[in-house]
Amino acid sequence: MNTTLKRISAAVAVVLVLGLLGFRVGHPNSGLSTALGSASSSVVIYKATQDLSQGQKIFGASQDEAQSPVLGEVSEAGKDYYSVQNGKFLERITKENTRGKMIVVIPFFGYLFNVVGL
């Protein structure tokens, strides 16, 4: 087996294992920005969960379809909702509309998703 095929196989195996552990990749349309740009110009790696606490970064569906999915910070955790500061205003996101906890933001990769239309 040549070296290139081994590397590709290893990369696919790593992605599958991370997917099985609950790690996902998402592209926010709006929300918190970084020093390197807006949320829509970034890609987010997040852990799929609905169990978040105050101060954690959230990746989820906004009530406004034009802004969804959104990247924000949990300011209050209720019984079946989160109050989320998304960089512009405070909104309430239900736990079922929560995709997960943000792990890392990768700046500029979102431009590729914008060109493709994702």
Domain range 23-116, CATH class:
mainly beta
How do the domains of the chain map onto residue ranges? 23-116
- pLDDT tens digits, one per residue of 16-70: 888 888 888 887 877 777 666 677 778 888 998 888 888 899 888 888 887 878 8
Residue percentage of the chain with pLDDT more than 90 = 3
Rounded to whole angstroms, what are the CA distances from 54 to 35, 58, 62, 76? 23, 10, 18, 5
d(CA 97, CA 84): 12
Structural contact between residues 61 and 68, judged by C-beta atoms closer than 8 angstroms: yes
Phi and psi angles of residue 51, each rounded to the nearest 5 degrees, phi first: -105, 90
d(CA 113, CA 41): 8
Mean pLDDT, residues 66-84: 87
Q: How many CB atoms lie within 10 A of CB 58?
A: 28
First to last CA, the chain: 35
pTM: 0.75
Q: What is the DSSP letter of 17?
A: H
